[in-house]
């Protein structure tokens, strides 16, 4: 049977996704300063639910308030109180109102936690982020007891989300966050049972998956987001990733989302990094195509049967359905297009050929200053300013139920930065 975007997908646990389009996880920054869901999150996800995707993934839900990915993250680090349970339930109800799935992405920032949140974040080892600006402190290696506590926290958060009405969970093991830090031989320099061999470096992730599965039961979707590679010399590579996928399949994971990159190397996430990309890690066809990680997923599908989701760069219906038909992907993840065109999934299902490429229009620098992009730091700042523009669209959706494609990039950059500082000030006053 031909697989199309409209085809349903039965997962190994028995749950069924109504179609093959997922809203990918994107950070929202709309929680209260102490990490509780808000009416703004409900409004945002209600709009996305109406948009036609078969599944929505939340942004980072953090298991440790001292390791935020961003000010405004939702935080579940202990058994939620009555108010938190009610807020989570309201969020889940809004996000599933059109009959779609809504999965919680559960995460921990690790060394990618900014100094304003934690000057000494915990990580696998004490390897500091190699980024200019001094925004990230030198990390402290986690003890075995702290690792065990974090495994329990993932399970607590997963159970709380299931009880609230979420229909699945995803363990965030990509993009350089804590689980990814354990997987990377470049960042994980431990000499105990959590470091050294790939089997040891993957132990933290596999313990989390086992604890989450025990917490939610066999019939509830459990997924993992995993880098196909870090694209850094000496980092987590495709061979490592393929082996971890095999272990995850054996551990009863229902869906694996294939991605790539870290804060140090975000080029395939749409931002120029400070370090040259490891070109040997990327097939020429991957570099040329619109969907960055299709080749990696297709190579994995030859060796495993677990369903794979591919996110990153998809803009044409042809590329999406080609990935499905070739067996390279079972689910197509869409991120930034849905920040503006919230009904993009429905339109794709109806036959729309191509989504707007808003990222191509975003430039912090006027044309006459374009020469400054020769400098790597300026190029990176310009790229992150474009990401802040999408953050602003999410803020508008949550607060006003609308988007503004004409919003100025520099204004978005200033507003988002100011909001983050304000949330941090309020957070410090509360904590």
Inter-axis angle of helices 294-301 and 238-250, nearest 10:
50
Confidence of residue 377 (pLDDT cuts 50, 70, 90): low
Q: Which of 151-155, 306-310, 358-362, 399-403 shows the lowest mean pLDDT across its residues?
A: 358-362
Looking at residue 378, what is its pLDDT?
57
- Residues 101/167, Cβ–Cβ less than 8 Å: yes
**How many whole angstroms separate alpha carbon 131 and alpha carbon 135?**
8
Which residue do the tokens 């979420």 mark?
Answer: 166
Lowest mean pLDDT among 59-63, 109-113, 130-134, 243-247: 130-134
Which residue's structure tokens are 């020769």?
374
- Between β-strands 255-259 and 222-227, what pairing exists: parallel, antiparallel or unpaired? parallel
User: Nearest 5°: CA angle at 345, between 362 and 343?
Assistant: 70
**Mean of pLDDT values over 248-270:** 81
Residue carrying the six token digits 């020429």 = 284
Check residue 355 and report its DSSP letter.
-
Q: Is the pLDDT of residue 133 over 80?
A: no
Pick the CATH number of 9-363 from 3.20.20.70, 1.50.10.10, 3.30.390.30, 2.160.10.10: 3.20.20.70
pLDDT of residue 264: 73
Q: Which two tokens stand for residue 431?
A: 């904590």
Q: What token pair was written down for 290?
A: 């619109």
Mean per-residue pLDDT for 270-290? 46
* Residue closest to 203 by CA, chosen among 187, 189, 192, 217: 192
Name the band, by pLDDT with cuts 50, 70 and 90, for residue 263.
confident
- pLDDT value, residue 285: 44
- The single-letter DSSP state of residue 3 is -
Summarize the confidence of residues 340-354 as an average pLDDT: 97
pTM: 0.92
Pairing verdict, β 21-23 and 331-334: parallel
Please say if the pLDDT value at position 274 is more than 50.
no
Please state whether beta strands 101-107 and 122-123 pair in parallel, antiparallel, or not at all (unpaired): unpaired
Q: What is the DSSP letter of 96?
A: T
Q: Which of 351, 416, 395, 427 is nearest to 41 (CA)?
A: 395
Q: How far apart are the first and last CA of the chain?
A: 56
Place of tokens 């000030």: 425
For residue 381, what pLDDT band results from cuts at 50, 70 and 90? low
User: What residues contact 413, with CB distance under 8 A and at least 6 apart?
Assistant: 364, 385, 388, 389
Structure tokens at 421: 């500082």
Instruction: Give the pLDDT band of residue 369 (cuts 50, 70, 90).
Output: low
Q: Is the pLDDT of residue 241 over 70?
A: yes
- Kind and range of the H or E run holding 319: helix 317-325
User: Residue 281's pLDDT is what?
Assistant: 46
Whether the predicted pLDDT of 282 surpasses 50: no
- Which letter does DSSP use for residue 76 in this model? -
């Amino acid at each position: 049977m031909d697989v199309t975007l409209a085809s349903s997908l039965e997962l190994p646990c028995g749950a069924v996704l109504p179609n093959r389009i997922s809203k990918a996880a994107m950070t929202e920054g709309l929680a209260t300063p102490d990490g509780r869901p808000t009416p703004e999150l409900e409004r945002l996800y209600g709009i996305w639910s109406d948009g036609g995707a078969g599944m929505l993934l939340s942004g980072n839900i953090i298991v440790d308030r001292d390791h935020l990915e961003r000010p405004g993250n939702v935080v579940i680090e202990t058994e939620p109180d009555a108010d938190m349970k009610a807020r989570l339930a309201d969020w889940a109800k809004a996000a599933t109102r059109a009959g779609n799935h809504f999965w919680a992405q559960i995460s921990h920032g690790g060394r990618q936690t900014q100094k304003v949140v934690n000057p000494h974040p915990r990580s696998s080892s004490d390897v500091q982020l190699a980024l200019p600006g001094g925004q990230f402190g030198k990390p402290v290696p986690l003890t075995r007891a702290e690792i065990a506590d974090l495994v329990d926290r993932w399970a607590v958060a997963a159970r709380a989300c299931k009880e609230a009405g979420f229909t699945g969970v995803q363990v965030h093991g990509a993009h350089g966050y804590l689980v990814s830090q354990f997987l990377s031989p470049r960042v994980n320099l431990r000499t105990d049972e959590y470091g050294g061999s790939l089997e040891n470096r993957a132990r933290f992730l596999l313990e989390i998956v086992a604890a989450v599965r025990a917490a939610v039961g066999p019939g509830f979707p459990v997924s993992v987001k995993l880098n196909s590679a870090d694209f850094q010399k000496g980092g987590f590579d495709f061979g490592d990733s393929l082996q971890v996928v095999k272990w995850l399949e054996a551990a009863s994971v229902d869906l694996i989302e294939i991605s790539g990159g870290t804060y140090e190397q975000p080029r395939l996430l749409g931002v120029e990094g400070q370090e040259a990309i490891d070109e040997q890690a990327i097939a020429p066809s991957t570099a040329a195509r619109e969907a960055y990680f299709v080749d990696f997923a297709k190579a994995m599908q030859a060796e495993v049967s677990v369903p794979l989701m591919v996110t990153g760069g998809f803009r044409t219906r042809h590329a999406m359905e080609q990935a499905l038909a070739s067996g390279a992907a079972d689910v197509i993840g869409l991120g930034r297009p849905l920040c503006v065109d919230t009904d993009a999934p429905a339109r794709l299902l109806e036959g729309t050929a191509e989504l707007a490429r808003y990222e191509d229009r975003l430039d912090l620098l006027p044309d006459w200053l374009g020469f400054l992009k020769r400098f790597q730091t300026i190029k990176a700042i310009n790229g992150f300013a474009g990401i802040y523009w999408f953050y602003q669209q999410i803020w508008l959706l949550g607060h006003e139920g609308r988007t503004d494609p004409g919003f100025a990039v520099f204004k978005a950059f200033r507003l988002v930065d100011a909001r983050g500082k304000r949330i941090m000030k309020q957070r410090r006053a509360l904590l």
